[in-house]
Amino acid sequence: MEPVDEPREECGVFGAWAPGEEVAKLAYYGLYAIQHRGQEAAGIAVSDGSSVVVYKDIGLVSQVFDESTLSSLRGHIAVGHCRYSTTGGNSWENAQPTFRTTTTGTSIALGHNGNLVNTSELAKRAANEGIKGLSGASTDSDVMTSLLAARPDLSIEAAAMELLPTLRGAFSLVFMDEHTLYAARDAQGVRPLVLGRLERGWVIASETAALDIVGASFVREVEPGELIAIDADGLRSQRWAVPEPKGCVFEYVYLARPDTTISGRGVHATRVEIGRRLAREHPVEADLVIPTPESGTPAAIGYAEESGIPYGQGLVKNAYVGRTFIQPSQTIRQLGIRLKLNPLRDVIRGKRLVVVDDSIVRGNTQRALVRMLRESGALEVHVRISSPPVKWPCFYGIDFASRAELVAGGLDVDGVRASIGADSLGYVSLDQLIAATEQPKSRLCAACFDGNYPIELPSADLIGKHVLEGVSRKVDAEGALERLDQAAGAEDAVRRP
Ligand code: SF4
């Protein structure tokens, strides 16, 4: 896989409880709306009240499902998931929803957005208790599902109330058995999760944009530390932890769709406001403000508004190229950034440019971008970034890079400027970013910028994306993972295309 040079989204989750509706199609459209959150694998589980069926595969939502597959997924409850791998590699086994049956025959399908930080501890506990996992799977979500299914003496709801307080990290969950749709969110509410109402049912989704696409009205957010259950008796809510909100500030910067609302604040409006504040903090004399499309666009609009410098489009994005699963040939690979962005030379030539982007991870993209703009005739290139320097890795569900790979991890602002070859470089300050979100600082996670991790992290060798793939030597040495073998019958209801 190519090195990551932009924040990679985590996952998107969707759930529906809607008798009389084609729930698989609701889930399909819901996942389509949040496809940006995960483009490696997709899956939908449905229940008709007597059995749960899961269909999942590697690929985009549109590649995994077709009309006939969706028509065969009949029922009134659905759980959907689109995945970018934040724990475990990209394989069919790691695609979600995950699936287990209990010894009493109840089925569980689960979709997870976020990343746990005590996966090793949970895997060890599962192994010690003789709880089996799915062969080939190496995700925190899979371990969670195994533990949930391991209490046949309890209802799924009661088992969840017991399990949830033992999970540490970020988790926005949708899960289901034959009769009930569940949703739960970690006590910090790091990743978003919202509840919507249909005329004949309920919807749960990662972002409000997924409610809009299925015609559901926004009801409220799933609260941090809450478990919701929806079945024929209606909606029940239980608290399993005292909420300590620490929503991810990066959702506002880059991750969420611009037409999504988080904690009552529109993401697009936030990004435009960040751009205005960026212009006040880092003014420059220039002829034209251009965005790095698409994610830099709202902040560039705000920068232009505030500075009075005209806004224009100087780069055209090859919108679907990042979503192809065909490896580029060597000739195409050598094009580098031109594979993604094409300059509008007539617009750029002879201009002093302000280029607005959302973040700098390794700096390779911006370096290539600055060079491309100069080659296209730009007189000056001033880079403005609508987030502070990313200095720390995220352990709560975003795949940036390791600290050593983050360009701002080892260089000051002028060092990064020199490294990318810009005439000047300005990042918005954390205080101004937070002010633009209109959320109190105390309710946000900003660990990738300031290193203050709101959920305690275990030691370095018990954490990370490949923690269940042999990287975590401590756990492997004790043989815990070997015992996470295939659960009998676990794949029976999971359809492999
Ligand atoms: S570390 Fe950064 S990306 Fe990760 S949850 Fe916190 S703010 Fe979001």
Q: Model confidence over 128-159: pLDDT tens digits? A: 888 876 666 678 888 999 999 998 889 999 99
Q: How far is CA 320 from the centre of its chain?
A: 19
Partners of 181 in beta bridges: 176, 230
Measure 386 CA to ligand 1 centroid, in angstroms: 15
> What is the best residue among 188, 396, 449 to mutate for testing ligand 1's pocket, by most ligand atoms within 8 Å of CB?
396
Q: Is 250 in the pocket of ligand 1 (CB under 6 A)?
A: yes
The closest residue, in CA terms, to atom 4 on ligand 1 is 394
Q: 10 preceded by cis ω (within 30°)?
A: no
pLDDT value for 486: 29
395 lines ligand 1 (CB under 6 A): no
Kindly report, residue by residue over 421-459, the tens digit of the pLDDT.
Answer: 999 999 999 999 999 999 999 999 999 999 999 999 987
Q: How confident is the model at residue 2 (pLDDT cuts 50, 70, 90)?
A: very low
Q: Is the CB of 256 under 6 A from ligand 1?
A: no
Q: What is the pTM of this model?
A: 0.89
Pair 281, 428: CB distance under 8 Å: yes
Which has the higher per-residue pLDDT, 290 or 495?
Answer: 290
Residue 253 in contact with residue 386, Cβ under 8 Å?
yes
- Cα 272 to middle of ligand 1, angstroms: 20
Encode pLDDT of 162-183 as tens digits: 999 999 999 999 999 999 999 9
- What pLDDT, in 10s, does the model give residues 86-139? 566 667 888 899 999 988 899 999 999 999 999 989 988 888 888 876 666 678
Amino acid at 203: V
Structural domains of the chain ordered from first start: 11-246+482-495 (3.60.20.10), 260-439 (3.40.50.2020)
Q: Please indicate whether residue 394, judged by its CB atom, sits closer than 6 Å to ligand 1.
A: yes
HSE value, Cβ hemisphere, 13 Å, CA-based, for 416: 28
**Binding site, annotated residues for Mg(2+):** 295, 357-358
According to the model, what pLDDT value does residue 458 have? Answer: 84
The pLDDT tens digits for 8-39 are 657 999 999 999 999 999 999 999 999 999 88
Q: How far is the CA of 404 from the centre of ligand 1 (A)?
A: 17
Contact indicator for 174, 79 with CB cutoff of 8 Å: yes
Residue 493 has pLDDT above 80, yes or no: no
**Is residue 446 within 6 Å of ligand 1 at its C-beta?**
yes
| Tens of pLDDT, residues 356-409 | 999 999 898 899 999 999 999 999 999 999 999 999 999 998 887 678 889 998
Distance of CA 455 to the CA centre of its chain: 18
For residue 249, give the ligand 1 atom closest to its CA: 7
Q: How far is CA 95 from the centre of its chain?
A: 14
Tell me how far CA of residue 437 lies from CA of 68, 211, 248, 440, in angstroms. Answer: 43, 22, 11, 8
Task: From the CA of 449, give the closest atom in ligand 1.
Answer: 2
**Rounded Cα distance, 122 and 144, in Å:** 8
Model confidence at 477, in pLDDT bands (50, 70, 90)?
A: very low
What is the 304 CA–ligand 1 centroid distance (Å)? 28
Q: Is 248 in the pocket of ligand 1 (CB under 6 A)?
A: yes
190 lines ligand 1 (CB under 6 A): yes
In this structure, which residue's CA is closest to atom 5 in ligand 1?
248
Choose, from 8, 9, 11, 223, the residue flagged as catalytic. 11
Mean pLDDT taken over the chain: 88
End-to-end CA distance of the chain: 24
Rounded-to-integer distance, Cα 23 and Cα 43, Å: 13
Q: From the alpha carbon of 255, which atom of ligand 1 is closest?
A: 3
pLDDT at position 425: 98
Contact of 413 with 389, CB cutoff 8 Å: yes
Distance of CA 310 to the CA centre of its chain: 33
Which parts are annotated binding residues for [4Fe-4S] cluster? 248, 394, 445, 448
Sign of the torsion angle spanned by Cα atoms 176, 182, 183, 185: negative
Cα 394 to averaged position of ligand 1 atoms, centre (Å): 5
Give the lowest-confidence range in 243-252, 317-326, 391-400, 482-491. 482-491
Does the beta carbon of 117 lie inside 6 Å of ligand 1? no
C-alpha distance from residue 5 to each of 8, 324, 365, 417 (Å): 9, 17, 7, 16
CA distance 56 to 40: 11
pLDDT in tens, 48-83: 999 999 999 999 999 999 999 999 999 999 999 998
User: What value does the mean pLDDT take over residues 219-233?
Assistant: 98
Say yes or no to pLDDT of 480 above 60. no
CB 55 near ligand 1, within 6 Å: no
Burial label, 89 (beta-carbon count in 10 A; 0-12, 13-18, 19+): middle
Crossing angle between the packed helical segments 140-149 and 156-163, to the nearest 10 degrees? 130
CA-400 nearest atom, ligand 1: 3
Answer yes or no: 82 catalytic.
no
- 244-253, 292-301, 410-419, 488-497: least confidently modelled range: 488-497
Residue showing tokens 């960040």: 274
Ligand 1 pocket member 455 (CB < 6 A): no
**Which of 394, 400, 442, 455 is the best mutation target for the ligand 1 pocket, counting ligand atoms within 8 Å of the beta carbon and taking the most?**
394
